[in-house]
């Protein structure tokens, strides 16, 4: 998506260890107009697929996910990263965080993820696919189904995209980063 690619080139920063910082328009300060444009593009790419619910992981996935869900006119549920003491019917999965280099538990109440529900997973980044694998685990535990996965930014030099596509999942990414070598951002055309 052209507008996103231009914004990454203009405002994205490359950090040591292959991390792309986009905190001025996605991850800390957010640009709602760009976020809505991105949501429209993602909704369009999954047009024609029956979707009951959008699913994401807090915190950075929530903004794009809620906009996509609004456009698709379906609810959105986010996996939490801390297990609340009041949660009933907890489904849990362990996820390794690429940016924080440690594992954490994601959880959801089975009240909000039902058997047979067709879910679209939306997140800000796809790197090694650990968050996506955790969501596949949670939906599997609930007997729900992932019918597609949409990301704002995919890091094409990490293994998540090929891992998910090899499982036959429809994966859509609005910008694919080819490389962050030498702290230079290269985006696929």
> Which residues form the interface with ligand 5GP (CB under 6 A)?
19-22, 27, 60, 98-99, 123-132, 155, 160
Between CA 170 and CA 5 the distance in angstroms is 21
E strand or H helix at 55: strand 53-57
E strand or H helix at 178: strand 171-179
State which residue, 29 or 99, has the beta carbon closest to ligand 5GP.
99
State the DSSP code for 49. Answer: S
- Write down the least CB distance from residue 84 to ligand 5GP, Å: 20
Would you give the distance in Å from CA 47 to the centre of its chain?
A: 18
State which residue, 46 or 78, has the beta carbon closest to ligand 5GP.
78
State which residue, 118 or 159, has the beta carbon closest to ligand 5GP.
159
Between CA 69 and CA 58 the distance in angstroms is 15
- Write down the least CB distance from residue 72 to ligand 5GP, Å: 21
- Write down the least CB distance from residue 11 to ligand 5GP, Å: 13
- Write down the least CB distance from residue 9 to ligand 5GP, Å: 15
Burial class (CB in 10 A: 0-12, 13-18, 19+), 93: buried
CA-based angle 52:54:57, to the nearest 5? Answer: 150
- Write down the least CB distance from residue 78 to ligand 5GP, Å: 11
State which residue, 100 or 115, has the beta carbon closest to ligand 5GP.
100
CA-based angle 23:103:168, to the nearest 5? Answer: 80
- Write down the least CB distance from residue 46 to ligand 5GP, Å: 19
State which residue, 63 or 126, has the beta carbon closest to ligand 5GP.
126
State which residue, 46 or 98, has the beta carbon closest to ligand 5GP.
98
Between CA 124 and CA 61 the distance in angstroms is 5
């Amino acid at each position: 998506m052209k507008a996103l690619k231009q914004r990454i080139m203009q405002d994205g920063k490359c950090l040591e260890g292959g991390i792309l910082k986009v905190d001025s328009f996605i991850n800390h300060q957010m640009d709602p107009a760009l976020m809505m444009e991105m949501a429209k593009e993602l909704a369009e790419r999954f047009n024609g697929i029956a979707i009951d619910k959008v699913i994401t992981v807090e915190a950075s996935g929530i903004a794009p996910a809620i906009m996509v869900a609004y456009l698709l006119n379906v609810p959105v549920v986010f996996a939490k990263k801390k297990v609340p003491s009041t949660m009933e019917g907890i489904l849990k999965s362990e996820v390794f965080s690429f940016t924080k280099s440690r594992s954490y538990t994601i959880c959801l109440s089975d009240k909000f993820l039902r058997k047979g529900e067709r879910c679209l997973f939306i997140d800000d980044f796809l790197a090694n696919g650990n968050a996506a694998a955790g969501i596949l685990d949670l939906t599997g535990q609930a007997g729900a189904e992932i019918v597609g996965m949409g990301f704002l930014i995919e890091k094409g030099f990490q293994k998540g995209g090929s891992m998910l596509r090899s499982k036959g999942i429809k994966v859509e990414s609005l910008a694919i980063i080819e490389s962050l070598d030498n702290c230079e951002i290269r985006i696929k055309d």
